[in-house]
Structure 1
C-alpha cells in the first residue's frame, strides 16, 4: 500500500477515528476532506480484517452513487491504495476487496435495498450527510453494527465503529444533541461522552486540494449558509421556524432524473414596480413549479427579478413557453386586473389564474411547510435566495429583511398544484377529464396531450 499524504487536519481526524469511541462524527464545511478521510479509514479497516463487512449509507440512493461510488471511493483507491485490486459490483452496489472483505453502498430512501443491506451485520457503518438522515433511520442502521471479525494486525476483535459526517445544520438537529450536547435526542438523557467523539474540519484546512475560486464562492454565500458550508458551525435554530435547511437537503433533486410532469405553472408575486423607477421597489417573485407523476411537487426555476411590468411580464411568459406550462398564477393585490393585462400584453391568450391574498403569509405558507418536510415538495436544484426567504418564515411571522416575494410565488404555485390545500376550484367544462403529460429533462423535453 502506498501511503497518501493527508492534510494536517485529516491526520488529526485520523487519530480521532482510531480512538476508543464507537460513534465518531466529522463535521464541517463543504469540501473539507471529511468524506475522503472516512472512506480511507473504512478501506483500511476492511483490509485489516479479512471477511469483514462495511456499509456506506446516504439518505438518497442516487446521491450515494454519484458522490461515493462514482467519485470519492475510486479517488481513495487510486491515491491511497493503487496496488490493491478490487471488484466493484455496479448492479448490487458493493465492492469486494482482497481477503473477502466487502463494502456496501446504499440509500436509506430505497426501502427494498435498505432491507437487503440491513439483513447483514457490519463492522463499520458510515452515515454520510447526516443532516439529511432522519433519526429513526439512524436508529435502524445502528442495530446492524454487530459483526465480529478479527483484526489480523492485533489478533483481537476489530472494534465496531459508527462513523458520521455532515455540513452542520441547525441546533435542533439530532446530530447536535448527540455529539455536542451528548444527550439522547429523544429522551434527553445523558450519553456516555467517551463513546461519542466530535471533530470539526473545514475548507480552510484543505486548501491544498481546493481552488481559490471555490473558497471565494463559499465566502460570497449569505451569512446563514456561510456559517454552515464555510465555517462548519451549527446555527441557532429559528424559534418555531416553518422551514428547515435539512428538509431542503434531504429531498433536493440534483443528480437524479426529474420525473415526467403532469402539470407546470409559473407563479408571479408582483410588487407594484413600474418600468421607469423600480430601484426602491421589492423584487417581482417569479417561480416555476411542477407536479410530477410521482405525486411530488418540484421547484424548477427561480426567475425573480427587480423590474417593471414591461420586463417581468416577458420573463414570466418566456418561462411559460420554455417550460410548456399550463398557466400563469399571479397574486392580484397589487394592481388587480393590471397583472392580467401585463401577462396578456407580453403573450396574448396566456392561460391565467388570479389569486387573492385573503390570508396572512404565515397561514398560506404553513401547509407548504408540511409538504416540504414530508418530501412532497422538493427543490430541483439549488435556490439559495428562495431557501433563505423560506427559512425566515416562523409561526410568529416573517423574520426576513425584505419582502419574501420568491417564497410567496412558490406558495402560490404549490397552492395551485395541490388544490386540496385550499378551497377546491371548480374546473371549467372543457378542462374536465383532461390530463396533460410531459417528460422533461432539467429544462427541455417533449409533450404529449
Structure 2
C-alpha cells in the first residue's frame, strides 16, 4: 500500500478504530521484541520463588541485572492473574534508590519495562507514579532515600510482586524491606525480585544467607553483549583489585583484611535515632581546587551527645553521632550551598573544612554565599592513617555511632585499607569525629 493510500485509509477510521489499531500494532511489536531476547544464564529466574522469598541478581556492571528483572515483571503481568478480582490481575511495586531512578532505569531506560513491552505507559496521579499495562495491571514506583519515601512505602498498598532495583544503593534499605514486606499479600505467592551490584551492606549480606533467597551471579567479563573494547578496558584497568571483585565480578565483599572499620563493628555501634546533641559540625573534605569536579566532595554532618555514657571500656564520655552524608560529585558552588543548608538546618556550631592540598578555596566560596556562617579550617599535620586510627577506635569502643544507615560512607569505611588513597566521605567523617571528640579543647586550627 502506498503512503497516500495508507493516509486515506487511516483518515477514514473513527477514533475508537484508531485506538484499536494502535493497540494491535503495539501488541505485535511487543511479541516481536519478546521473542528476540536471549538471556544470560544468571538472568534466568528460579523455577519457583518461595512466598515472601527472593530472586536476587548480583552482578558486575553491564551484566543485565535490570534487564532480567524487567523481563520477569513483564512475564509476570502476562501470566496467570494473582487476584482475578483486580483489573489486570496484578498490583506490583518497583522500589529504587529514588523514584527518579525507578522511572529512568526500570521503566524508560534501555533495559526497562518499555524495552520489553512497549505497551507500558507511565502515569502520575494524585496517588503516585505508576507503570501501567493495557490489561490494567500496574506497578507503583517508589524511592527509598528520604524519610518521606519511607512514609510513602508505609502506606504503599498491597502487592503481589516487588522489584527492588539496585538493592545495595538504597539508603533506607532496611525500612524499604520492612514496609514493602508488610504489603506483600496479594495472590498465592507474593515475592520479591532484586537486582544490584553488591556492596557490603548488612541487609544484603543477610539476604544472601537466607534460605528463602535464590541468588544468581553474573560477571562483566562474561557479558558478551557489551562492546568487547569496553569490557577489556575495565578488566585490564581494575585487574586484581577490590573494585574488580565487587564492581565487575559481582562478589559481595564482607570484611576487608586490613581495613580500620569492620561491618560488624559499625553495626554494633549503630543507633536508630540521634539523641539530644550539645554540638554539631558539618565537616567537609573538598576537592583540591575549585575547578575539580572529578573527585567527590566529602560532606558529613555529625554531633556530640549531651549526656555522658560509658563506652565498652567503662569510660564515661560524650558519644559522637554521624547522621547525614551529603557527599557527591558536584560543582564547588553546590558543595558550599549544600554545606550551608546543612549548617542552618541542623543548627550546627561550625562548618569545618580541610585546607590541605589547595582546599582554601572553599572558605572563600562559603563566605561569599553566607558570611554569617561560622567557618573554620583544619590542617593535617600527620598522615591520614594516624588521623583515622583514633576515630576507628571510637567505633570499636562503642562511643562513635552511625545513625540509621549511611551506605556510601559505610562502604568507604569498611573497604579502605591504609596505604590506599583515602576517599572523601571517609576523610570528612574523620574530620567531624576528630573535631567533636578528639581535638583538644579550644584547638580548632590543626589536628595532629
* TM-score normalised by structure 1 residue count: 0.57
Match for residue 235 of structure 1? Answer: 253
Alignment of 1:66-77 (within 5 A): 66-71=104-109, 75-77=112-114
Match for residue 94 of structure 2? Answer: 56
Contact (CA 8 Å) 1:267, 1:413: kept in 2 or not? no
Alignment of 1:172-187 (within 5 A): 173-179=202-208, 181-182=209-210
Match for residue 19 of structure 1? Answer: 48
Distance 2:146 2:287 in 1: 36
Distance 2:381 2:213 in 1: 54
Q: Once superposed, what is the RMSD of the aligned Cα atoms?
A: 4.6
Match for residue 88 of structure 1? Answer: 123
Contact (CA 8 Å) 2:167, 2:195: kept in 1 or not? yes
The verdict on how the C-alpha distance between 1:126 and 1:425 changes in structure 2, with shifts beyond 3 A counting, is farther
Aligned counterpart in structure 2 of residue 201 of structure 1, from 214, 218, 221: 218
Alignment of 1:6-405 (within 5 A): 6-9=37-40, 13-14=43-44, 16-21=45-50, 22-48=53-79, 49=81, 50-71=88-109, 75-77=112-114, 79-82=115-118, 84-89=119-124, 92-119=128-155, 120-133=157-170, 134-135=173-174, 137-148=176-187, 159-170=189-200, 173-179=202-208, 181-182=209-210, 191=211, 195-210=212-227, 212-213=229-230, 216-217=233-234, 219-221=236-238, 223-238=241-256, 242=261, 265=284, 289-290=298-299, 296-299=324-327, 315-318=358-361, 320-321=363-364, 326-333=375-382, 361-365=388-392, 374=404, 390-391=413-414, 399-401=417-419
Is the partner of 2:93 in helix, strand or coil? strand
- CA shift for structure 1 position 88: 2.3
Is the partner of 2:194 in helix, strand or coil? strand
The verdict on how the C-alpha distance between 1:424 and 1:61 changes in structure 2, with shifts beyond 3 A counting, is farther
Distance 1:31 1:324 in 2: 43
Contact (CA 8 Å) 2:220, 2:231: kept in 1 or not? no
Contact (CA 8 Å) 2:56, 2:216: kept in 1 or not? yes
User: Deviation digits for residues 36-80 of structure 1, max 9, x if unmatched?
Assistant: 11022112222433131111113444543443355357x431x32
Aligned residues: 326
* TM-score normalised by structure 2 residue count: 0.57
- CA shift for structure 1 position 30: 1.7
Unaligned runs of 5+ in 1: 149-156, 183-190, 248-261, 270-285, 303-311, 335-355, 380-385, 394-398, 429-449
Distance 1:220 1:203 in 2: 13
Contact (CA 8 Å) 2:285, 2:297: kept in 1 or not? yes
The verdict on how the C-alpha distance between 1:93 and 1:263 changes in structure 2, with shifts beyond 3 A counting, is same
Contact (CA 8 Å) 1:23, 1:161: kept in 2 or not? yes
Is the partner of 2:89 in helix, strand or coil? coil
Unaligned runs of 5+ in 2: 1-29, 82-87, 267-280, 289-294, 303-321, 331-354, 369-374
Contact (CA 8 Å) 2:49, 2:55: kept in 1 or not? no
User: Deviation digits for residues 290-314 of structure 1, max 9, x if unmatched?
Assistant: 4679983534679xxxxxxxxx977
Distance 1:143 1:87 in 2: 25
Distance 1:316 1:413 in 2: 14
Contact (CA 8 Å) 2:261, 2:414: kept in 1 or not? yes
Match for residue 349 of structure 1? Answer: none
- CA shift for structure 1 position 122: 0.9
